């Protein structure tokens, strides 16, 4: 959605890698996963002009929240984030003609203090599925958020400002 908004054409291809979940601090972890994703696809598509790997996670201090496994996990995640400021970290790895460019973006998101009823209603929407931190800020998850400091696109799933800084040639003007 974000690439299309910018007029950047792409072909999405799952990397098939098993993502790392520990062994690094959160920013280093997302960058390691983004690079592993990009390198895996680049290995299968050596003639591709550009390969983009991105990984995003939510962190509250040193506690990392990936994609909830089920509704109970989503409730626990949203309960832990309620009334607190967490960080959304994204790692970007772009391989252009064999040359690797990398970066990390971090955005602070403060959640409102949420009642059990609000959390239950949100989880019932199933929007949490496949979302780091268990919410989609671009949809109903915006009702959970009090404030955002930094790149909103990063929270949605792709830090476009960082991507275009790494590869200004991708910008459509």
Domain segments of the chain: what residues?
A: 2-170
The mean pLDDT of 120-147, rounded to a whole number, is: 96
Q: Alpha helix locations (H) across 45-136?
A: 71-81, 116-124
pLDDT at 172 over 70: no
Structure tokens, 151: 């790149």
On the question of pLDDT at 171 being above 80, the answer is no
**Residue 47 above 60 pLDDT?**
yes
* Whole-number percent of the chain with pLDDT over 90: 85
Q: What topology does CATH give the domain 2-170?
A: Maf protein (3.90.950)
pLDDT of residue 18: 93
* Distances in whole angstroms, Cα of residue 160 to Cα of each of 18, 64, 98, 128: 25, 23, 21, 22
Catalytic status, residue 55: yes
Per-residue pLDDT for 133 more than 60?
Answer: yes
pLDDT for the residue 173: 53
Mean pLDDT of the chain: 94
Question: Are the beta carbons of 128 and 68 closer than 8 angstroms?
Answer: yes
Catalytic residue among 25, 47, 55, 151: 55
| DSSP type of residue 83 | T
Which segment of 18-22, 32-36, 127-131, 148-152 scores lowest on mean pLDDT? 18-22
Beta strand ranges found along 19-77 (DSSP E): 50-60, 63-65
């Amino acid at each position: 959605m974000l690439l299309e908004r910018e007029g950047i054409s792409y072909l999405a291809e799952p990397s098939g890698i098993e993502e790392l979940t520990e062994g690094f601090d959160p920013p280093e972890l997302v960058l390691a996963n983004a690079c592993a994703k990009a390198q895996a696809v680049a290995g299968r598509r050596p003639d591709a002009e550009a390969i983009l790997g991105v990984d995003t996670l939510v962190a509250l201090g040193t506690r990392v929240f990936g994609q909830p496994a089920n509704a109970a996990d989503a409730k626990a995640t949203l309960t832990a984030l309620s009334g607190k400021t967490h960080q959304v970290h994204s790692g970007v790895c772009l391989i252009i003609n064999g040359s690797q460019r990398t970066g990390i973006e971090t955005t602070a998101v403060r959640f409102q203090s949420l009642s059990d009823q609000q959390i239950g209603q949100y989880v019932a929407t199933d929007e949490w599925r496949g979302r780091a931190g268990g919410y989609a800020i671009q949809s109903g998850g915006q009702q959970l958020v009090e404030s955002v400091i930094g790149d909103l696109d990063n929270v949605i799933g792709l830090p476009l400002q960082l991507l275009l800084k790494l590869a200004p040639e991708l910008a459509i003007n």
